[in-house]
Structure 1
């Protein structure tokens, strides 16, 4: 006899469209990562694994791994490395990066930095963009260029 479905495919897809990865979906649904990964495989939603530790100019503490700046940086990193990603989340990440660039700011990180309007959980802070472009501008430009190469 087949096992009872342990997880809602629709809920997994909704969370994936929001940009969550398997560990985050598992936590949100109270399920194991293996259960979520099987659902993602069944839905043909398994992404190729892309490392981001080479992109971040600082080690990010685990407590800040789910914050919007971290998610946007990972989304732009994926786009820079693969030329693609979830379009809705990618557009949100580009809007975020473009807004920072238009305001002339870059982002910095200190795990002990208190919560601000950048992220209530703390860690990230805005600072003036360095002459010649900062981290966010370089990452955004790399993601745009990878997208252009992919379109050719």
Structure 2
């Protein structure tokens, strides 16, 4: 097994600022593009990835992954994590979640049925995600 290639972070920062592609950087440093992406994360050159696992804790079937509820939950999750979401998409997600919470409903998922509305319990999933998104949007001054 060979020695790990050392990527000089100062040089990486300089070359990335010059606009070098990941492929060119990988070739220059003798690593894979994945190695460059890891080095960029370590150097603080890339934003952390958005994690929607709290908003979508289910293993979704492909045909359900782009449904309205999945999209709305992802958009609310992105806002809660400080990511920008187009105003119209945020409005749609907020209206959808507010309607559910206002009617005492929550969302459930079943691979066979897809997403479906259910009576909200004490720990409503949608209410929690909605509250997190509103809090973050209010703090950022982006609440529609």
With normalisation by structure 1, the TM-score equals 0.58
* Structure 1 stretches lacking a partner, 5+ long: 1-46, 114-122
Cα distance in 2 between the residues matched to 1:77 and 1:68: 14
How many Å apart are 1:83 and its aligned residue? 5.5
| Contact 1:105/1:126 (<8 A) preserved | yes
Larger radius of gyration: 2
When the two chains are superposed, the root-mean-square deviation of aligned CA atoms in Å is 2.1
Name the residue aligned to 1:93.
Answer: 93
The correspondence for 2:135, drawn from 145, 148, 151, is: 145
In the alignment, the residues of structure 1 paired with residue 48 and residue 88 of structure 2 have an alpha-carbon distance, to the nearest angstrom, of 18
Q: 1:83 to 1:97 in 2, by over 3 A?
A: same
* Structure with greater contact order relative to length (CA < 8 Å, sep ≥ 6): 1
Report how far residue 48 of structure 1 moved.
7.7
User: Which 5+ residue runs of structure 2 have no aligned equivalent?
Assistant: 1-46
Q: How high is the TM-score relative to the length of structure 2?
A: 0.61
Q: Secondary structure at the match of 1:84?
A: coil
Q: Which residue of 2 aligns with 1:73?
A: 73
- Runs of 4+ with deviation above 2 angstroms: none
C-alpha contact 1:69 1:124 (8 A) present in aligned 2 = yes
Residue in 1 aligned with 2:119? 128
| Secondary structure of the structure 2 residue equivalent to 1:82 | coil
Alignment of structure 1 residues 96-111 onto 2, 5 Å: 96-111=96-111
Question: 1: CA distance between counterparts of 2:83 and 2:53?
Answer: 18
Equivalent runs, 1:21-32 vs 2, <5 Å: none
